[in-house]
Amino acid sequence: MFALVNFILLFLIILILIGFTFVVVKKNQKHNNYLKKITNVFYQIRYGNLNTSLTGAKTKLEQELENVINSSIESISDRDNMIQEHIEREREMAVLKSDFIAALTHDLKVPVIAHDKTFDLLLDNKFGELTPEQNEAIKNLKTSNMDLKYLIEALLETYKLEQTKLVEDVTYGVNVPLFIHEVISMIEPIAIAHNKKIDLIVSTTDDFTADIDKFLIKRVLQNLILNGLNHSVNSDFIEVTLKAKGENFQIDIKDSGSGIDEEEIKKIFDKYYSGSNGLTRSGVGLGLYLSNKIVKACGGKIKVKSDMGKNTVFSIILPKYKNNPQE
């Protein structure tokens, strides 16, 4: 009974409030219409329309309010224009910077390749017999030149990757163990120059095949193997392991370095990030950035596992097969 009385009282209070509100609204219909205009203006500003303004003031108070709101809209619009101009200038500067780097690295690539050919001729004794000391010195120069070549190629490929959409040029049925062995053979002179060696471990059949972009994946393997060589301070070799994993395959590059802490692992694929221990051989933080971009574009991913003070393992996981348009 008490609950029923309370309910009736509450119901009567609600009815009185509704009635009172109706009277006030009716009496102040003109003010309510102006408030609707104000609300509409703020909705337009909220959704980015700064070309709006408030009009229709009838009283002195409404006129003052109108002036304040319209002047505020003007100020916001002016600041928005300034920000847009600043963004546009930044964009233009970024394009100029990128184009300059591309032009510079393209011009640098020609003499670097010429130097490499000259070093090969010297090492082949085409200009006369070399002393052991001269031979060693030229090998060191060739190794340094190779590092510079990889840096220039990384800069050029980063520029291309950011200016155009990366499109795979897939070769179907690639013998993956043989392909990795060929990549390692290209890097072996650098490994030998640093008194290191590269061990390839194939945990699958010798005729293991996959559909890959050989040029792009070669670039990734080069970057990661060179990093591994550079950071293997606890032994004279790094391990490259190939594994089959269902519809994917995995290539692990394991060094014997000082490791990477968890905070740095979160940043190592950022552009220009080289880390406190110099995570990329070139020292400009493009190798891992570029490798990650390429692997993602090829439908795969890169994982990192590190044991501080012992080693780091970079794992490339890629799909075995792609749709062949010729089939």
Give the pLDDT of residue 207: 64
Q: Are 301 and 285 in contact (CB under 8 A)?
A: no
Residue whose pair of structure tokens reads 């082949």 in the numeric block: 124
CB 144 within 8 A of CB 193: no
Assess contact for 316 and 300: CB atoms under 8 A. Answer: yes
**Phi, psi (degrees; rounded to nearest 5) at 209:** -125, 160
Q: Quick one: average pLDDT of 46-63? A: 76
**How far apart, in whole angstroms, are the C-alpha atoms of residue 239 and residue 257?**
12
The residue-averaged pLDDT of 241-259 equals: 89
316 forms beta bridges with 251, 302
CB 272, CB 253: distance < 8 Å: no
The pLDDT tens digits of the residues spanning 84-122 come to: 888 888 877 777 766 766 676 667 777 888 888 888 888
Q: What angle do CA 68, 73, 76 make, to 5 degrees?
A: 125
**How high is the pLDDT of residue 285?**
57
Mean pLDDT of the chain: 77
123 contacts: CB under 8 Å, gap ≥ 6: 130, 135, 138, 139, 142
pTM for this one?
0.58
Residue 294: beta bridge partners? Answer: none
